[in-house]
Amino acid sequence: MSLGNVLITGGAGFVGSQLAADLLPETDHLYIIDDLSTGRKESLPQSNKVSFYKASITDQEVLEEVLPQVDYIFHLACRNLLLSVDDIEADFQTNLFGGYCLLKKTMELNPKIKRFVYTSTASVYNNADILPTPESYYDISMPYAASKFSMEHYCHVFHHLSRLPFTILRLSNLYGPGQLAVNPYCGVVAKFFEAAAAGEPLIIYGSGEQTRDFTYISDGIDAIRKAASHPEAAGNVFNVGTGRETTIHRLAVSIKDITGSDSPFEYQPERTIDTVTNRCLDTKKIKTELGWNPEHSLEKGLKNTYEWLKNQ
Ligand SMILES: NC(=O)c1ccc[n+]([C@@H]2O[C@H](COP(=O)([O-])OP(=O)(O)OC[C@H]3O[C@@H](n4cnc5c(N)ncnc54)[C@H](O)[C@@H]3O)[C@@H](O)[C@H]2O)c1
């Protein structure tokens, strides 16, 4: 598949940098806009086909320079869940206002855009009482969920007003190579691996019996590719998960087994963001309509992650 020119916002982050490396061979030119608030420039692939802009997605001048040139947009830039409770306004500025700026400028400057892929989040389900949770469900309490879900609505609005060919993916707990524990807001998998390697305690908030639906990065990237290329994906919202629940305690045990670490577990009180007891996504829609299937079991994904970490 030839993608022409591609923009990835948030391309210096975990998912964005892995997506950039994956798409680069099929891309004429890759534009990355990232303010490096949590991302790292070193995570980007080195190539003269890559132009990097250290800028916010609210920067009108940068948007005016880049947007007319691209065929596909992958909008990943975000303030994360943890930061959202400390500074609601900054979350709003990036996740909603920044997303809105990007949509508005895209339709002004590049109405023939081939696809606008937006990575939303399973956080819009909060502590769902339907498991596995289908795309029709929502329960908003965190600022991050509110801003990400509202941005989904604006994708629909621009689709209605200007035929924006968007696809929304609700990702669930991505992990794997490229997720760096130097980012203090990285996911639990990277944190557990780092603690296990250092012989430090694996910190578990709450009982450890809470579950998450962990998705391996290359499966997530495959879903993002299908969102961009599949004709049935335009104008649609899809869950991206495995449909399997894993307790945080089970995850910690698996990582200790894989690394051979004798780190203890340390239980700490739940934080403000710890509102989810069970998470498991219903992935029937993406399987049936886009033919996507996660290829990696958690065990396989964790082993791959450990191999990657050993070479860092
Ligand atoms: N990683 C996951 O488990 C997960 C789960 C659900 C949804 N998502 C979504 O996937 C996307 C990527 O997540 P990630 O894990 O790679 O996050 P990340 O924090 O690693 O990457 C986000 C990137 O956005 C950049 N950024 C932040 N504010 C910006 C701004 N105003 N302008 C430009 N760049 C800005 C950061 O510097 C960072 O490089 C996000 O949209 C996130 O909501 C991720």
The predicted-structure confidence for 54-77, as pLDDT tens digits, reads as follows 999 999 999 999 999 999 999 999
- Ligand 1 in reach of 301 Cβ (< 6 A): no
Nearest atom within ligand 1 for CA of residue 11? 39
Look at residue 258 and tell me whether its pLDDT is greater than 80.
Answer: yes
Q: Is 267 a catalytic residue?
A: no
Q: How far apart, in Å, are the Cα atoms of 247 and each of 50, 168, 251, 289?
A: 39, 27, 6, 29
Strands 50-54, 27-34: parallel, antiparallel or unpaired by DSSP? Answer: parallel
Residue 6: name the closest of 121, 116, 168, 105 by CA: 116
Each domain of the chain, given as residue ranges in start order, spans 4-173+216-240, 176-213+244-310
Please give the distance, rounded to the nearest whole angstrom, from the Cα atom of residue 76 to the centre of ligand 1: 5
Buried b (16+ CB within 10 A) or exposed e, 204-234: bbeebebbbbbbbbbbbbbbbbbbbbbeebb
The residue to which tokens 């990065």 are assigned: 217
Please give the distance, rounded to the nearest whole angstrom, from the Cα atom of residue 10 to the centre of ligand 1: 6
273 Cβ contact list (under 8 Å, min separation 6): 81, 82, 85, 142
Nearest atom within ligand 1 for CA of residue 57? 32
Look at residue 170 and tell me whether its pLDDT is greater than 70.
Answer: yes
Considering the chain, what percentage of its residues have pLDDT values greater than 90? 98
Look at residue 280 and tell me whether its pLDDT is greater than 80.
Answer: yes
Please give the distance, rounded to the nearest whole angstrom, from the Cα atom of residue 79 to the centre of ligand 1: 6
Mean pLDDT across the chain: 97
Q: Are 174 and 187 in contact (CB under 8 A)?
A: yes
Look at residue 1 and tell me whether its pLDDT is greater than 80.
Answer: no
Q: Is 172 helix (H, G, I), strand (E, B) or coil?
A: coil
Angstrom distance (rounded) from CA 298 to CA 255: 10
Please give the distance, rounded to the nearest whole angstrom, from the Cα atom of residue 260 to the centre of ligand 1: 31
* Alpha-carbon torsion (83, 89, 95, 98), positive or negative: negative
Give me the count of residues in the chain: 312
Phi, psi of 12 (to 5 degrees): -95, 0
Q: What is the mean pLDDT of residues 2-7?
A: 96
Q: Are 57 and 262 in contact (CB under 8 A)?
A: no
Q: What is the CATH number of domain 4-173+216-240?
A: 3.40.50.720
Using most ligand atoms within 8 A of CB, pick from 59, 76, 183, 186 the residue to mutate for ligand 1: 76
Look at residue 28 and tell me whether its pLDDT is greater than 90.
Answer: yes
Q: Which one is the CATH code of 176-213+244-310: 3.90.1150.10, 3.40.366.10, 3.90.25.10, 3.30.750.24?
A: 3.90.25.10
Number of C-alpha atoms within 13 angstroms, CB side, residue 97? Answer: 11
Q: Report the pLDDT value the prediction gives residue 260, as an integer from 0 to 100.
A: 98
Q: Which residues pair with 133 in a beta bridge?
A: 281
Q: Is 2 helix (H, G, I), strand (E, B) or coil?
A: coil
Q: Are 217 and 18 in contact (CB under 8 A)?
A: yes
Q: What is the mean pLDDT of residues 200-214?
A: 98
Q: What is the mean pLDDT of residues 151-179?
A: 98
Centroid of chain to Cα 264: 30
- Ligand 1 in reach of 34 Cβ (< 6 A): yes
Bond preceding residue 231 cis, omega within 30 of 0: no
300 Cβ contact list (under 8 Å, min separation 6): 216
Look at residue 49 and tell me whether its pLDDT is greater than 90.
Answer: yes
Q: Report the pLDDT value the prediction gives residue 2, as an integer from 0 to 100.
A: 85
What does pTM read for this prediction?
0.98
Determine which one of 53, 118, 125, 144 is catalytic.
Answer: 144
